Structure 1
Amino acid sequence: MTTTAARTTDAGRIHTTLASVFAQARAEGLLHVRDLDTGAEFGHGADAQVVLASVFKIPIALEYARQVAAGELDPARRHTVTSAHRAGGSSTDGCAHDVEMSARDLAFMMMTISDNAATDLLLDIVGPDRVRATLDELGFPDFGFSSCAALDDDIRRELGLDPERSLDDQLAGIPDERLLALRACAPGTSPSSTPREVTALLAAIWHDEAGPASACAEVRDIMGQQVWQHRLVSGFPEPGVRLAGKTGTDFPVRNEAGVIEYPDGRRYAVGVFLRTSTAATRQPLADRAIGRAARAAVDHLRAGT
C-alpha cells in the first residue's frame, strides 16, 4: 500500500517534472487530470484561470447534442455557411464560396478540425443563451465561450486594423509584444475557465451527467474523431490507447482538453493549458509539451491506484 508520505513525495516529483517540461517549451503551463472511474485527481495550478481558446467549443457541441436529443433540432437539416461567417482559416472558414451542410456536420467540423465558421453558424442555430443556461445548470457559471467572429472583431479594434478585411491577412508585421498583450490572450478578458472545471465538464459528459445519454454519447463520438495528432496524442502513442480531444490555439495560447482511455478500461480526463513566450504560429516544442505533461500526470495517477 502506498503511504501518504510516499504519495506526497511522488506528487512533488511530478510537479518538478511538469515545471521542467514547460520550461523546456518556454511556456507557462497548468494542468488537471481526473480519473473518471475512481475520482482520483492531480493538479498543477488547476484552479487558476486560463484562456480556453477553441476548448470553449465543447459546451457548444454539448448544447447542439442536447437539443437534438430533445427533438428540438433536426441534425439533418441543411444550413449554409456564407461570407457572414467565413473569416479565413481551416475547412469551411477558408472556402471561397458558400457551403451547405447539416447541423450535425457543422458540429463535426467545429470539433474535429476547429472550423470557426461552422462554430459561429452552429452557435447561431442553438442560441448563445441556451449554451449559457446549460453551463449554469451544470454548475459552470464562470465557464466562458464566444463566437469566433466577436473575438476577431475585438482583436481588430485593439490593433487598429481594418474591420472589413480578414484578420489573418493583417497580422503580418505586427510585433510579438503587441500580440502577446492582446485581451484575447488574457484570462478574464477572453473566454476562460480553470483546468479543474474543464475536466469536470468532460467527466459530466463521459458519465452521461451533462444531458441525455444519447447527447453525451454524440459529443464523445465527435471528439473521438478530432484530426489533430500533435498535442495530447503525442504523449500516448501506444496501440489501443484511445483519445478524444479538443485543441485550442490563439497566439501564445496552446491547449488541449480530452479523455484518454487505456485498453484496461481506465479513463482519464485531461486539460493542459500553455501560454508560451511567443505568438509564432508554429510551436512544436509547446505542442509536444502538452503530450509530455499529460503523460506524466496520467502515469502518476495510474501508479497510485
Structure 2
Amino acid sequence: MEPGTTGAGERVRRVFAGAGAVGQLHAVPVDAGAAGGGEVAVGADEPVVIASIFKVLLVLEFARQVAAGQLDPRERVRVTAADRLGGWGTAGCLDDVELSLRDLAHFAMSVSDNTAADLLLDRVGLDTVRLLAAELGLERTRIVGGPRHLLESMLAEAGARDEREFAVRYPALPEDRKRRLAVLDPRQTTASTPREITRLLRLVWSDAAGPARACAFVRDLMGRQVFRHRLVSGFPDEVTVAAKTGTLPGLHMEAGVVRYPDGASYAVAVFARTHDLAASRATVDAAIGRAAGIAVGALRGHDHLR
C-alpha cells in the first residue's frame, strides 16, 4: 500500500473509476509540522503530463526576476495576430492588444491564456524556468517548451499546417494515433509527478520558492483563477482554493492549495486520464474535486465524502 491515510487512497481510486478515469493524486499539509501530518498518495511518484500547470513555474520565475530588478513588470507588450493561439484571454482577441508583463502573468494564471504565457516565456527565458525547477529540487519535472511549442508538435503529428487544418484533421485520426501524440506522453512532453507539484506549492506558500513578494504574487494570481469546476467543487463554501488547471484531450488536472477557516492549508495535485479523448468531461472534473475532498478530509481526520 502506498504511504497515506488508511483507506483514503482506495476511496480516491473508486471515485475516478466511477467517472471512467484513472487518477493520480498527492495531498499533504502545507506546514509539514501540522497536526495530523501525513499524506494521501495515489500514483504520486508516477510521471504525469502537467500541461498548463507549468504556468505556476513560469509566473514564479517572472516574479523572481521582477523582485531582483531584472524585469520591469510595467513593460508593455503588443499581442498581434501572429502571436495568438486561440482560447481564453488575449489568445481569443480579434484585434491587437497591448498590456504589461504583469498583466500577461495575470491572464496566464487566471484564465490560462496560452498566448500570454508564450509571450511571458519569451521574455523570462525557457532555460531560466528549467533552472528554477532544478533549484527547487523538482528533479523529475521537465519543461520542453511553452504552449506554442506543444501546439506545433500536435500540428506536425497530425500533418496540419495551422490550427484550422488541425481542427479538420484531428477528428479523423485513428484513436490509437491520437493517444500516441507526444503532448499526451509524460516521457515526451512537459511533465512532473504529483508529489513534485505539491512540493512546488508548499515552497510557494511558505515563501521558500523565492523572495516573499514573488511567492505572494503567485499565490495572489492562483487565487484569481476563474475556473471553479474541479478542486473547488470538492469543498464547502467556507474553504478557499487557489489553484491552476491543465487540460489536454483525455487529460484533466488541477493543482492548488485549499485553506480552511481554522488556518490549516493543504497542497493538492490531482491528475485524471480518461479512455476517451474528450477535452471536456463534467463527471471527471467533479471526480477531481471529490477525490481532493476525500484526501484532505482524511488528512484532517474527518470521514469526508463530499
TM-score band w.r.t. shorter chain:
over 0.9
Query: Does structure 2 retain, via aligned residues, the 8 Å contact 1:56–1:144?
Result: no
User: Aligned pair in 2 of structure 1 residues 162, 12: CA closer, same or farther (>3 Å)?
Assistant: same
**Candidates 265, 268, 271, aligned match of 1:267:** 265
Separation in 1, partners of 2:284, 2:187: 23
Query: Does structure 1 retain, via aligned residues, the 8 Å contact 2:111–2:226?
Result: yes
Q: Look up the equivalent residue of 1:188 and give its one-letter code.
A: R
User: Aligned pair in 2 of structure 1 residues 265, 169: CA closer, same or farther (>3 Å)?
Assistant: farther
* CA deviation after TM superposition for structure 1 residue 176, in Å: 3.8
Separation in 2, partners of 1:143, 1:99: 33
Separation in 1, partners of 2:75, 2:168: 33
Question: Gaps (5+ residues) in structure 2?
Answer: none
Q: Look up the equivalent residue of 2:204 and give its one-letter code.
A: I
Q: Look up the equivalent residue of 2:85 and give its one-letter code.
A: A
Separation in 2, partners of 1:10, 1:205: 23
2:179 matches 1:180: yes
2:132 matches 1:134: yes
**Candidates 277, 294, 297, aligned match of 2:292:** 294
What SS class does the counterpart of residue 88 from structure 1 fall into? Answer: coil
Q: String of CA shifts for 1:96-142, please: whole Å, max 9, x gaps.
A: 12111111110000001000000000000111111111111111243
What SS class does the counterpart of residue 28 from structure 2 fall into? Answer: strand
What SS class does the counterpart of residue 257 from structure 2 fall into? Answer: strand
**Greater mean deviation of Cα atoms: 249-258 or 71-80:** 71-80
What count of residue pairs does the alignment treat as equivalent? 297
Question: Gaps (5+ residues) in structure 1?
Answer: 1-7
Query: Does structure 2 retain, via aligned residues, the 8 Å contact 1:85–1:149?
Result: no
Map 1:220-259 → 2, pairs under 5 A: 220-236=219-235, 238-259=236-257
Partner of 1:5: none
Map 1:45-84 → 2, pairs under 5 A: 45-84=43-82
Query: Does structure 2 retain, via aligned residues, the 8 Å contact 1:183–1:189?
Result: yes
Partner of 1:16: 10
* CA deviation after TM superposition for structure 1 residue 169, in Å: 5.9
Q: Look up the equivalent residue of 2:146 and give its one-letter code.
A: S
* CA deviation after TM superposition for structure 1 residue 186, in Å: 1.0
**Greater mean deviation of Cα atoms: 69-78 or 35-44:** 35-44
**Normalised TM-score (structure 2):** 0.92
What SS class does the counterpart of residue 178 from structure 2 fall into? Answer: helix
Separation in 2, partners of 1:88, 1:38: 41
What SS class does the counterpart of residue 246 from structure 1 fall into? Answer: strand
User: Aligned pair in 2 of structure 1 residues 95, 170: CA closer, same or farther (>3 Å)?
Assistant: farther
* CA deviation after TM superposition for structure 1 residue 77, in Å: 1.4
* CA deviation after TM superposition for structure 1 residue 94, in Å: 1.5
Partner of 1:149: 148
User: Aligned pair in 2 of structure 1 residues 164, 279: CA closer, same or farther (>3 Å)?
Assistant: closer
User: Aligned pair in 2 of structure 1 residues 215, 90: CA closer, same or farther (>3 Å)?
Assistant: same
Separation in 2, partners of 1:10, 1:62: 29
Separation in 2, partners of 1:203, 1:303: 21
**Greater mean deviation of Cα atoms: 31-40 or 174-183:** 174-183
Separation in 1, partners of 2:108, 2:51: 13
Q: Look up the equivalent residue of 1:95 and give its one-letter code.
A: C
**Normalised TM-score (structure 1):** 0.92
Q: Look up the equivalent residue of 2:297 and give its one-letter code.
A: D
User: Aligned pair in 2 of structure 1 residues 27, 20: CA closer, same or farther (>3 Å)?
Assistant: same
What SS class does the counterpart of residue 274 from structure 1 fall into? Answer: strand
Separation in 2, partners of 1:296, 1:139: 28
Query: Does structure 2 retain, via aligned residues, the 8 Å contact 1:88–1:168?
Result: no
Q: Look up the equivalent residue of 1:266 and give its one-letter code.
A: A
What SS class does the counterpart of residue 11 from structure 1 fall into? Answer: coil
Q: String of CA shifts for 1:249-284, please: whole Å, max 9, x gaps.
A: 000110000000000000000000111111113200
Q: String of CA shifts for 1:59-95, please: whole Å, max 9, x gaps.
A: 0010011011111111111101122321211111121
Q: Look up the equivalent residue of 2:234 and give its one-letter code.
A: G
Separation in 1, partners of 2:199, 2:163: 39
Map 1:179-218 → 2, pairs under 5 A: 179-218=178-217
